[in-house]
Structure 1
Amino acid sequence: MEWELLGIILAGLGALYLWVFQIPYSLPHPLAVTGKRENRFDILRGFAMVGIVLIHIHSYFQFFHPADKLVIHTTLFFSNLSRFSVPLFILTSAIFLRKKEGYWISKIKNLLLPYTFASMIGYLLKYNNYHVWEFIQFYCLGKVFAPFYFVPLLVQFYVFFYLFEKFLISKTFIKPILFLSFIINLASNLGYFDSILPDEYHSISVLNYLFFFILGIQIGLSNEEKNKPKVKVSLLFGSLSLILLFLIVLFSAVYYLDFKNHHLVYPIFFFFVIWEVIPNFGQTTIHWISYIGNNSLFIFLLHPFVIHLMHSVDPYFFGGPFLGYLVTLILNVGIPILIAIIIQKGKSLYRLRHSGELR
């Protein structure tokens, strides 16, 4: 609660700064001036995917070395720093969401089928006593592996958008809906719905991420303002970044608090900061982070298998805490990416053979 309220206070100060100095900052746009998809959204998803891996690496190190305070506090810092990840995925998933022909076919083909296959294999691999009803429960609640809860959460938002699309994309209602979603999300974060909702539903409650989904829709509806002056807000973002960094260090190293995934302000702040910083990255860095973002589903579904199997090996085996952390990160991102490359190459060869171009 304290982190939530601190974030809201900082956001209010930032908004006051923009208002007092009349800085005409606008929301990021899903399309570039050229009309092509803005690749910064894929880069943001890449950051979010790496962040999800960092959150789980903390649990991995804590499992083997709970008494090594310096290491565990450091891994907790990176875990707390990455708590923007799930909200950012929800937000970017909503930006390009449209109700069109094949809406559910694409969702089933690109999300539910891979998730179903991964859940079945994961259940057989992770558990010893198999029960159909238990698997159904785990599947619907995303409990086969801890990060799988994101899929039933996202599916609920897809259903919500499908049912209320006309209302959600109406320019007349979008701002009141955004404000209402913020109040509902804040109430959920502060625990006001905990006694109303079933305990099993808490982890996949849409109320925890409603604001991010609605904000993503609003960003998706925005128009590119080509003639709007470029505004430098580096002083504001730099100051707030230092404050937030200090607070994350404080909460991680001194109070040893594990942040929730669905605080309101921090993910939105990270979104805007990275949006402004991305143009300063080198092209090689942009390419690789964007590639991770484009293949985030592979990493999301396969990384839990990697980290689960690694629980039979002490992370210090890879050369101590520092190298162990680095190797764990590389393996949990690299192995799914390698599988993605193999599958994509296989698909390309299959298409070539069937098109008659390869004999």
Structure 2
Amino acid sequence: MEWELLGIILAGMLALTFYTFCIPLLFPVPIQTKNSRESRFDVLRGFAMIGIVMIHIHSYFQFFHPADTFIIHNTLMLSNFARFSVPIFILTSAIFLKIKEGYWISKFKHLVLPYTIFSILGYWIKYNHYTLNEFLIFYVLGKVFTPFYFVPLLLQFYLLFYILNPIMKAGSGRNIILLVSFLINVISNLGFFDTYLPSEYHSISIFNYIFFFVLGINIGKTNQSSSDINQNSKFILSIYFVLSLILILIFSHLFGSDLKNHHTIYPVLFLLFIWQFLNDFNGKVSKVLSYIGNQSLFIFLLHPFIIHFMHSVDPYTFAGPFFGYLFTLILNVGIPILISIIIQKGKFLYQSHRLT
């Protein structure tokens, strides 16, 4: 709660600064093209996917070395820094959504089916006693592996988009819906809905992330072109972003606070900050992040298996905590990408064989 209130105060200060000095702020606007999708949002998804893995690595280190407070506080700091990940992932998932023929078939084929297969496999690997009732509960709530909660959450948002799309498409009530969604998100983060919702639903509650989804829809339906990047804007956002990182450092090291995924302000500040500097990124770095963003579903579904098996190996085994952290991160991102490349290569060879 303290972090949420600090974020709101920080956002108010930021808005006041931009308003006082009449500085234009560059908001994300997708470049509309028929043949390709906006790659900058894939870069954001790449950041988000790496961040999600970093959050889970903290739990892995904490499992083996809870008494090593210096290392744990540092992995906690990196985990807290990465708390922008799930909101950014939800936001970018909403940007390119469109209601068209085969909307639900596409969601079933590309999300529900892989999720179902990996849930069955994960339940078989992770648990010793099997019951259909337990599996169905875990499946619906995304509890086979902790990160799997994201799929039931996302499916609820796809349904919400199906309902809201006619209103959002018209554009007249779009800003009002965005404001209402922000208020709902803040109220949810402050815990006011907890007593009214079933405890099992808390982890997949759309109220925790609804603002980011509606913001993503708004961004996707924006047709105006972006103005030139203002250097004063970049400078001020840098100051506020560094201030956020200092606060995260304090919360992590002095208080040992494990921040939640669904705080409202920090992910928005991260989005604005990164967006200002995306054009300054090294081309190779952007390509790598974009590729990771494109392969995010493979990483998301497969990396819980990898880190689950890694719980039988002390991370310090990999040349100490620093290299152990780096090696764990590379494995949990790299192995799913390698599997994705093999599968895609196999599909290409199969299709080529059929054509010949």
TM over 0.5: yes
Overall identity of the aligned pairs, in %: 59
* Residue 276 of structure 1: aligned partner: 276
Deviation (angstroms), 1:56: 0.3
What is the alpha-carbon distance in structure 2 between the residues aligned to residue 33 and residue 340 of structure 1? 26
* Residue 150 of structure 1: aligned partner: 150
Residue 99 of structure 2 aligns to a residue whose secondary structure is coil
What is the alpha-carbon distance in structure 2 between the residues aligned to residue 314 and residue 33 of structure 1? 48
After superposition, the Cα gap between the structure-2 partners of 1:134 and 1:33, relative to the gap in structure 1 and judged at 3 Å, is closer
* Residue 191 of structure 1: aligned partner: 191
What is the alpha-carbon distance in structure 2 between the residues aligned to residue 348 and residue 294 of structure 1? 17
What is the alpha-carbon distance in structure 2 between the residues aligned to residue 100 and residue 276 of structure 1? 32
Root-mean-square deviation (Å): 1.3
Q: Assess if the C-alpha contact under 8 Å between 1:46 and 1:290 holds in 2.
A: yes
Deviation (angstroms), 1:272: 1.1
Question: Are 2:220 and 1:205 aligned?
Answer: no
Q: Assess if the C-alpha contact under 8 Å between 2:237 and 2:273 holds in 1.
A: yes
Could you list the per-position Cα deviations for residues 203-257 of structure 1 after superposition, in whole angstroms to 9, with x for gaps in the alignment? 000000000000001101111326x444221221111022111101000000000
What is the alpha-carbon distance in structure 2 between the residues aligned to residue 24 and residue 286 of structure 1? 25
What is the alpha-carbon distance in structure 1 between the residues aligned to residue 246 and residue 327 of structure 2? 27
* Residue 230 of structure 2: aligned partner: 231
* Amino acid aligned to 1:100: K
What is the alpha-carbon distance in structure 2 between the residues aligned to residue 298 and residue 175 of structure 1? 34
* Amino acid aligned to 1:122: G
In the superposition, the TM-score normalised over structure 2's length comes to: 0.97
- Aligned residues between the structures: 355
Could you list the per-position Cα deviations for residues 51-79 of structure 1 after superposition, in whole angstroms to 9, with x for gaps in the alignment? 00000000000000000011000000000
What is the alpha-carbon distance in structure 2 between the residues aligned to residue 225 and residue 123 of structure 1? 47
* Residue 341 of structure 1: aligned partner: 341
What is the alpha-carbon distance in structure 2 between the residues aligned to residue 40 and residue 84 of structure 1? 17
* Residue 240 of structure 1: aligned partner: 240
* Residue 319 of structure 1: aligned partner: 319
* Amino acid aligned to 2:158: Y
* Amino acid aligned to 1:235: F
What is the alpha-carbon distance in structure 2 between the residues aligned to residue 286 and residue 352 of structure 1? 31
* Residue 38 of structure 1: aligned partner: 38
Structure 1: stretches of 5+ with no match in the other structure: none
* Residue 57 of structure 2: aligned partner: 57
Structure 2: stretches of 5+ with no match in the other structure: none
* Residue 25 of structure 2: aligned partner: 25
What is the alpha-carbon distance in structure 1 between the residues aligned to residue 38 and residue 81 of structure 2? 25
Q: Assess if the C-alpha contact under 8 Å between 1:142 and 1:148 holds in 2.
A: yes
* Residue 75 of structure 1: aligned partner: 75
* Amino acid aligned to 1:270: F
Q: Assess if the C-alpha contact under 8 Å between 2:27 and 2:275 holds in 1.
A: no
Q: Assess if the C-alpha contact under 8 Å between 2:44 and 2:88 holds in 1.
A: yes
Q: Assess if the C-alpha contact under 8 Å between 2:87 and 2:262 holds in 1.
A: yes
Q: Assess if the C-alpha contact under 8 Å between 1:29 and 1:219 holds in 2.
A: yes
Q: Assess if the C-alpha contact under 8 Å between 2:189 and 2:262 holds in 1.
A: yes
**1:124-139 alignment to 2 at 5 Å?**
124-139=124-139
Residue 83 of structure 2 aligns to a residue whose secondary structure is coil
Structure 1 stretch 61-70 or stretch 229-238: which is displaced more? Answer: 229-238
Question: Are 2:254 and 1:259 aligned?
Answer: no
What is the alpha-carbon distance in structure 1 between the residues aligned to residue 250 and residue 197 of structure 2? 32
* Residue 308 of structure 1: aligned partner: 308
What is the alpha-carbon distance in structure 1 between the residues aligned to residue 201 and residue 87 of structure 2? 18
* Amino acid aligned to 2:29: H
What is the alpha-carbon distance in structure 2 between the residues aligned to residue 349 and residue 16 of structure 1? 57
Structure 1 stretch 154-163 or stretch 27-36: which is displaced more? Answer: 27-36
Deviation (angstroms), 1:36: 4.5
Residue 172 of structure 1 aligns to a residue whose secondary structure is coil
What is the alpha-carbon distance in structure 2 between the residues aligned to residue 49 and residue 176 of structure 1? 31
After superposition, the Cα gap between the structure-2 partners of 1:230 and 1:241, relative to the gap in structure 1 and judged at 3 Å, is closer
* Residue 298 of structure 1: aligned partner: 298
What is the alpha-carbon distance in structure 2 between the residues aligned to residue 38 and residue 150 of structure 1? 23
Deviation (angstroms), 1:89: 0.7
Structure 1 stretch 68-77 or stretch 156-165: which is displaced more? Answer: 156-165
Q: Assess if the C-alpha contact under 8 Å between 1:31 and 1:224 holds in 2.
A: no
